Amino acid sequence: MMALVKADIFLLFDSNRLIRKRALFLSSLILAVTLLICFALYYILVSRELQHVTAQQETVIFNSADHINRELGDIARAVRLIAQDDYFNQALSVDDDIKQSLLNNRFKDFSLGLGNVMQIRWLDQSGLEIVRVDYHKKKHQAVQVPADKLQDKSDRYYFQEGMAVSEGEVYLSDIDLNVEYGEIVKPIQPTIRASLRTGQGDGLHPGLLIINYDLSPLFKKLSAMSAEYADLQVIDQYSYWLLNPDKSKEWGRDQGQLALNVASERPKLWRQLQQDTIRGMYLDGQLLSAHHVVLNKDNASSHKVLTVLAFAPQSTVTAIFLQVFWPVGMLFLLLSVAGFYLVIYELRNQKIRYQLMDSLLHEKNELEDACTRLETSMKEQQVMQDELVETRKLSALGMMVAGVAHELNTPLGGALMMTSGLTDACAELKQSVQSGLTRSALEQYLQRTDDGLELLTTNLQQAKSRIVSFKRLAIDRFSEEAVSFTLRQVIDDLMTSMRPILKEARVSVDVSLNCEAGFEMYSYPGVISQVVQNLMMNSVNHAFDEKGGEIRFYAECHDGTTLVIHYSDDGKGIPESMRTTLFDPFVTTGRGSGSTGLGLHLVQQWVSRMLQGSIRIEPTESGRGLGFCIRIPVRIRADD
């Protein structure tokens, strides 16, 4: 490797500007990668060292959260126990007056039997205390509060929120300090109130059962849980400390010191606590972990959130950072030297790559020539496709000629027959004149002549009508200008020309135009005729078997500007996989029978380009066959 460096070291200062730029880029990249690796390693080692700190914090946090959850669970169970008591339900039965004496006795019994209970009371639905029993822990006595000492608690938040909870659901209030007669009880008593609504759903008088629970023992346990790397704090949902190593910061909201909260003193921490649980977060020089305890989980409208937080001091975190820094720094120097050797090796290969550039450039020129030839072929293909379209038009015209010839055969044959009959009648009259013309012979001749002329006139008029229809259809097909016309006339002319084909295929056509005048339009009648003819021929050739079928053609115009044509047949339909590509060129289900797959492609092109409209597939009324919806303007834009 040393020989490699001595031979190629001057590549760093090569006269080739691209190689010099490459050297600068690779050097920067090696430096960046080395820094990234060392930083990642430093981060991993620091994280590993801090894991045991985080683990200790989490142990303290989850033990504390477990104590809180168990305590709250006991409180909720105590409320439910009272609510399920037979004497309690008997005292509040809606079928009788409230039995206050019985209720007092039961509250006294429960006060003596439940730990850390401060008060048990029942309030009516207006917030007035009806029965209340206070428990004096030191004397171990349960005392009934006299009627003149009962209070109206309707303005207290825990009464209002407790009454908003569904019957049978336990509600837990905020944890705050016990207040009696408007003043905080001294020494302070952290208190939580658990309540449960009574009502007619349970067969009880409507009101609220409330237990005031003393949390002082719980907070003493939590204070004792702080460890070497985990000083414990408890924060309520309003960002006030309920527990803090600095006792002067506790209960700021209850004691009127509104600035003593996390949101004011540590706003970054408070924003993090509102977002999610914290695990081993480094913030403001401290390592923090936190977990949320949710009160009233089953009642979304009255959720209460407590945050249990543990932190390690900044000095502990700084010592860990310095301990890891020195070995990572040595690794950075070793990786930088190795990277320098890699840069030299890459620059030597760069010179070799430049020698290959000429051959690549030559191949590129050849590829561009191939692309040019491909574009020429595509243009030629487009020309051939246009010619195929014109051929398709001529083929359609030939089909119409055959149809009109078939239509003319009947009236012209009838006219010829009548002419022959009149010739015979005239010969008979001449013979009668020579032999002696009688009155009856003359009358018979006149009657035959009158009948023959009438039939002859009718057949000749039918032939003229077919010729006029064919002439109009042919002129429309080859006209390049928009004209005024009626849709009814276009469809009638087309049906006249296609009648033999439809008859031979046993296909009936139901034409319905939702307009007595036949839709006055200004557009290209020949294009519309060609579109409908292609759709009909597509149905005849692909949709039906030898039994034939039915085609429905229905047109409507509700807004006076857009004509909507619904075309459908009751044939075999098409596979679902072809619906998205049906209008693409050369897509057909009859490839083996000689179909080109251009019929519907031409229809789509004519509708969108010439008629300025759109065509799409739509479901049929019967659920069988294939349907199309065509939307075209009644009057096309003159500038197009």
For residue range 213-243, what is the model confidence (pLDDT) as tens digits?
999 888 899 888 887 778 888 999 889 999 9
pLDDT digits 0-9 by tens, 42-54: 888 877 888 888 8
Tokens of 97: 């007056």
Residues spanned by CATH 3.30.450.20 within the chain? Answer: 19-312
CA dist 538 and 621 (Å) reads 19
Structure tokens at 181: 């007669």
| Intervals of the chain under pLDDT 70 | 1-19, 298-302, 351, 355, 383-415, 418, 421, 451-452, 454, 456, 459, 461-480, 517, 586-587, 589-598, 638-640
Report, at the CATH architecture level, how domain 19-312 is classified. 2-Layer Sandwich (3.30)
The answer for 506, left when phi > 0, alpha when psi is -120 to 50, beta otherwise, is left
- Residue 606 DSSP label: I
Please state, in angstroms and rounded to a whole number, the distance separating the CA atoms of residues 42 and 325: 7
Cβ-Cβ contacts under 8 Å for 306 (sequence gap 6 or more)? 68, 175, 234, 235, 236, 237, 242, 292, 293, 294, 295
Token pair recorded at residue 456: 């002859």
* 3-state percent breakdown (helix, strand, coil) of the chain, nearest 5: 55, 20, 25
Omega within 30 of 0 (cis) for the link into 619: no
Structure tokens at 125: 């639905």
Quick check: 114 and 78 in contact, CB under 8 A?
A: yes
Q: Number of H helices and number of E strands within the chain?
A: 13, 21
Contact (CB, 8 A) for 10 and 23: no
In the chain, ranges of CATH 3.30.565.10 domains: 482-640
Nearest to 239 by CA among 223, 218, 220, 261: 261
**304 by DSSP, 3-state: which?**
strand
Comparing CA positions, the residue from 107, 111, 116 lying closest to residue 72 is: 116
492, 519, 530, 619: which is closest to 567 by C-alpha?
A: 619
Number of CB atoms found within 10 A of residue 218's CB = 22
User: What does the alpha-carbon distance between residue 346 and residue 340 come to, in Å, rounded to a whole number?
Assistant: 10
- Give the DSSP per-residue string, 237-291: TTSBEEE-SSGGGBTTTTTT-TT-BHHHH-HHHHHHHHHS-EEEEEETTEEEEEE
Taking the whole predicted model, whether its pTM rises above 0.85 is answered as no
- β-pairing, 626-633 vs 562-569, is antiparallel
* C-alpha separations of 327 from 34, 316, 330, 497 in Å: 14, 19, 5, 96
287 φ, ψ (degrees, to nearest 5): -100, 120
Terminal alpha carbon distance of the chain = 76
Contact 626, 569 (CB under 8 A): yes
Chain-centroid distance, C-alpha 504 = 51
What pLDDT is attached to residue 1? 43
Q: How far apart are CA 568 and CA 187, in angstroms?
A: 90
How far apart, in whole angstroms, are the C-alpha atoms of residue 453 and residue 215? Answer: 121
**pLDDT at res. 356:** 80
How confident is the model at residue 409, as a pLDDT? Answer: 63
How many Å apart are CA 403 and CA 419, to the nearest integer?
A: 25
| Identity of the residue numbered 136 | H
Tell me which amino acid residue 170 is. Answer: V
Rounded to whole angstroms, how far apart are CA atoms 292 and 307? Answer: 5
Give me the pLDDT at residue 179, please: 79
Chain centre to alpha carbon of residue 308:
39
- Integer Cα distance of 608 and 614 in angstroms: 5
| Residue 38 burial (CB count, 10 A) | 18
**pLDDT number for residue 209:** 94
E strand spans, 398-488: 483-486
Question: What is the chain's alpha carbon radius of gyration, rounded to the nearest angstrom?
Answer: 50
For 109-144, give one letter per residue: b (16+ CB within 10 A) or e. Answer: bbbeebebbbbbbbbbeebebbbbbbbeeeeeebeb
Q: Report residue 340 as tokens.
A: 């320098």
| 482-640: CATH topology | Heat Shock Protein 90 (3.30.565)
